[in-house]
Amino acid sequence: MGKRIQWLEDAVFYEIYPQSFKDTDADGIGNINGITEKLPYIKGLGCNAIWLNPCFDSPFGDAGYDVSDYYKVAPRYGSNDDIVKMFEEAHKLGMHVLLDLVPGHTSWKHPWFVESMKAEKNEYTDRYIWTDSIWESPEGYGSLRGISDRDGSCLVNFFTHQPALNYGFYKPDHSWQQPMDSEGAIATRNAMKDVMRFWLSKGCDGFRVDMAGSLVKNDEDGKGTIALWQDIRSFLDESFPEAVLVSEWGEPDKSIEGGFHMDFLLHFGPSHYNDLFRCEKPFFGGEGDASEFVKKYLENYAKAAGRGLICIPSGNHDMDRLARTINGNKAKIAFAFLLSMPGAPFIYYGDEIGMRYVEGLTSVEGGYGRTGSRSPMQWDETLNAGFSDAESEKLYIPIDPEADRPNVKAQIKDDASLYNEVKKLIAIRQSHKALKNSGEIEFICDGAEGKPMVYLRSCEDEKILVALNPTGEDQILQTEEEAGDVIYSLGELPEISKGKFVIRRESAVFISLR
């Protein structure tokens, strides 16, 4: 478990996909200076922390999750100096920045892999996981075969061009599977520590870790991977005790044990996250059922047991835009949920203005169906929505072509906009300790079909009832709680009498309790 970090207590994150945020040099792709320029915007919304998707040199077969140089900002985004300046400017504004660390695999163009493919033994022979012979493919994994002089198949971690780095096997059961403490596996681990040291020394505040639970192989219960991260955590505790780690793992008992401060609630696997937002009948669409989500969430919440945070994102670069399924008042109710749950909330750039999923795009840089969620940020009504001065055909991903596409400038001016609702909700969260990241939660109503979702958030001196009713019907809640002030409301105010609240249709309300 990582040491308690003060700023995480009220961190509200903003995820930036660097390609698509702000282009300041008119080449059609976003850059680091564009992010620096827009820091005051992010701060103005109320977010005080950033997760920046990979920005390192890469052939971009998976939008940068295929790194070819961990030590260099990709020239298309700027220079290492630019990112250091961005860290400094963020810090001046009281904000923190997490980079995206991809420790599980590299690009097949990474010089380590080029060396590892050679038949002669060298420093990088064991940097990746190779079988002893090309005729042996690793069971249960994809592999790269027939592309090297080296006789062997190399395990891949995700796409075919992403060979898996070797951190060893928890239970090796083939001659080519090295144990976790083998020389090659330890060298890989040290190489990744060097990468972390480099960027932490340059001023980043920590990392979002890609596929954090996947590093040690044949590790069904995660014991090996937990031990690996504990070792990395001790290295950090010695040299960079303030370094924050958030994992893409989705099993907070394991990740927190490994030293992560926070774990993501994933949109795949058993979380039921998308029962709320992205399925045929999502709960926040008004007709769905949140009860399986609540059940799973509470299991994980108990596992995290106050030792770390579970983070719920509004979306991310891997899933459909929230606005593809949830809009209007319902989107505001969804944000009332996201911004009143425990754990650090993560807002995906553009979700705060309801940016849409752009339909029908051809895949860009390994995005496939994800491409429509990665289109350029819409700042205003000018050329390319203020994202870039390049010709529109030169944009990295085409911009939402609809005439009524939302934009920041218009929404800032409009009191009734989603932007202003999100801003208001963040401010309310930040002014009530019970609503902040470590406040406790207890569910009163689990949002089973046709029911609202109701929960209590509390800390030593405050208790707040949150009631979210995206359905089209008023809902009656029997409760012994005695209502105090209404802290937030959307839609018609609830009717409150002793023992009974009538929660209005399509409404959200936070009420402080006496």
Residue of minimal Cβ distance to ligand NOJ: 65
Considering the complex, state which of residue 65 and residue 455 has its C-beta at the smaller distance from ligand NOJ. Answer: 65
**CB 317, min distance to ligand NOJ, A:** 6
| Paired strand residues for 164 | 105
Contact between 211 and ligand NOJ (CB under 6 A)? yes
Considering the complex, state which of residue 210 and residue 219 has its C-beta at the smaller distance from ligand NOJ. Answer: 210
Contact between 264 and ligand NOJ (CB under 6 A)? no
- Of 74, 102, 156, 185, which one interacts with ligand NOJ (CB under 6 A)? 102
**CB 185, min distance to ligand NOJ, A:** 20
Which candidate, 176, 178, 180, places its Cα nearest to that of 229? 180
Which candidate, 447, 432, 514, 441, places its Cα nearest to that of 477? 447
Question: Total residues at the site for ligand NOJ (CB under 6 A)?
Answer: 9
Place of tokens 């796409």: 159
Considering the complex, state which of residue 127 and residue 457 has its C-beta at the smaller distance from ligand NOJ. Answer: 127
**CB 404, min distance to ligand NOJ, A:** 29
**CB 121, min distance to ligand NOJ, A:** 29
Contact between 235 and ligand NOJ (CB under 6 A)? no
CA-CA distances (angstroms) from residue 496 to 65, 277, 434, 465, 504? 51, 29, 22, 12, 11
Which candidate, 340, 344, 343, 322, places its Cα nearest to that of 331? 322
**CB 349, min distance to ligand NOJ, A:** 14
**CB 132, min distance to ligand NOJ, A:** 27
Contact between 434 and ligand NOJ (CB under 6 A)? no
Considering the complex, state which of residue 56 and residue 65 has its C-beta at the smaller distance from ligand NOJ. Answer: 65
Q: How far apart are CA 110 and CA 113, in angstroms?
A: 5
Considering the complex, state which of residue 62 and residue 446 has its C-beta at the smaller distance from ligand NOJ. Answer: 62
Contact between 62 and ligand NOJ (CB under 6 A)? yes
Site string for ligand NOJ, 103-142 (x = CB under 6 A): ----------------------------------------
First vs last C-alpha separation in the chain: 35
Q: How far apart are CA 430 and CA 441, in angstroms?
A: 16
Contact between 310 and ligand NOJ (CB under 6 A)? no
Burial of 176 from C-beta contacts in 10 A (0-12 / 13-18 / 19+): middle
**CB 73, min distance to ligand NOJ, A:** 18
Considering the complex, state which of residue 318 and residue 400 has its C-beta at the smaller distance from ligand NOJ. Answer: 318
Q: What tokens were used for 449?
A: 């079909």
**CB 248, min distance to ligand NOJ, A:** 6
Contact between 318 and ligand NOJ (CB under 6 A)? yes
Considering the complex, state which of residue 205 and residue 318 has its C-beta at the smaller distance from ligand NOJ. Answer: 318
Considering the complex, state which of residue 215 and residue 465 has its C-beta at the smaller distance from ligand NOJ. Answer: 215
**CB 323, min distance to ligand NOJ, A:** 20
Using DSSP's 3-state secondary structure scheme, residue 456 falls into: strand
**CB 62, min distance to ligand NOJ, A:** 5
Q: How would DSSP label each residue in 368-415?
A: GGGGGGSPPP--SSSGGGGS-SS-GGGSSSPPP--TT---HHHHHH-T
The amino acid at residue 329 is N
Query: CA angle, corner 39, sides to 33 and 44, nearest 5?
Result: 160
Looking at residue 303, the DSSP 8-state letter turns out to be H
Looking at residue 357, the DSSP 8-state letter turns out to be P
Contact between 158 and ligand NOJ (CB under 6 A)? yes
- Of 51, 56, 65, 396, which one interacts with ligand NOJ (CB under 6 A)? 65
CA-CA distances (angstroms) from residue 82 to 34, 35, 79, 461, 476? 10, 10, 5, 44, 55
Considering the complex, state which of residue 65 and residue 87 has its C-beta at the smaller distance from ligand NOJ. Answer: 65
Contact between 210 and ligand NOJ (CB under 6 A)? yes
Query: CA angle, corner 483, sides to 477 and 486, nearest 5?
Result: 100
Contact between 205 and ligand NOJ (CB under 6 A)? no
| Cβ neighbours of 70 (radius 10 Å) | 22
Which candidate, 234, 199, 237, places its Cα nearest to that of 87? 199
Catalog residues that contact ligand NOJ under the rule CB under 6 A.
Answer: 62, 65, 102, 158, 210-211, 248, 317-318
